[in-house]
Amino acid sequence: MLTNPHRETITTILKKIKALRIEKGISQYELSERLGICQNSYYKIESGKTKLDIYRLLQISTILEFNFSEYLYLNFDHVAS
């Protein structure tokens, strides 16, 4: 079975998204409307049932006015030139 080495980072980001959303008084429904998706689709992102891609993370970052870059560790050393 393959494991995701970034699971902890992803979980941390999802928890931060939820905490910020609640702190700002934004419901899942309101955030989903601003993203142009249904509330159930947003719920699945926030709960980790749907993968959070970089495009969606950037959209959420803009709405919540939070830079998630401090949570990301990207190492491209293994990529061939």
User: pLDDT tens digits, residue range 18-75?
Assistant: 999 999 999 999 999 999 999 999 999 999 999 999 899 999 999 999 988 877 765 5
Q: Is 6 left (phi over 0), alpha (psi -120 to 50) or beta?
A: alpha
Domain extent at residue 50: 7-71
The confidence score (pLDDT) of residue 9 equals 83
- Rounded to whole angstroms, how far apart are CA atoms 42 and 50? 9
Residue 17 lies in a domain: yes
16, 71 in Cβ contact below 8 A? Answer: yes
Residue 80 lies in a domain: no
Q: Is the pTM of this model over 0.85?
A: no
Amino acid making up residue 1: M
Structural domains in the chain (count): 1
